[in-house]
Amino acid sequence: MIKAQILQILERDGVGCYKFQISGTDAVIYMLALGDHSHLREGLNVRLNFKSSDVIIATSKLQNCSIRNELPCKILKISKGEILSVIHLKFAQFEFESIISSLSCNELNLNEGDSVFAYVKSTCVHISGIDD
């Protein structure tokens, strides 16, 4: 869960694009959503979430791609199984996980303490709570 404030809302034809300022950081995160979100307004404090399986890990910045949400993270812990690995990440004061294949974990040579980039598509971000 990431605390954030809505900076900008753009809605057209039932599709909304939301820009959030992540609390305590200069970072922004984007969300694309369908449907009526008329209860949301700029300046509203919210809690954002996404599934662990929607978090992409990269050992260097991605270039020339459509993913806008980039979070520079530190690997706190790796729980490696035969098939899946859970990567425990920290961005600023926020902690979350990425679930990737153990094959990918090995090929990326991920280790606890490494600095990595976590990427989340804007269509995977959702508001899990409102704090105002």
Instruction: Kindly report, residue by residue over 6-60, the tens digit of the pLDDT.
Output: 999 999 998 999 999 999 999 999 999 998 888 899 999 999 999 999 999 999 9
Pure H helices in 7-128: 102-107
Q: What is the overall mean pLDDT for the chain?
A: 96
Mean pLDDT of 96-122: 98
Cα angle for residues 93, 132, 2 (degrees, 5° grid): 25
CB atoms within 10 A of CB 120: 24
Does 132 score more than 80 pLDDT?
no
Q: Against a cut of 0.75, is the pTM above it?
A: yes
Task: Give the domain ranges of the chain.
Answer: 2-130
Question: Can you give the pLDDT at residue 58?
Answer: 98
The hierarchical CATH code for the domain 2-130 is: 2.40.50.100
Instruction: Kindly report, residue by residue over 63-86, the tens digit of the pLDDT.
Output: 999 999 999 999 999 999 999 999
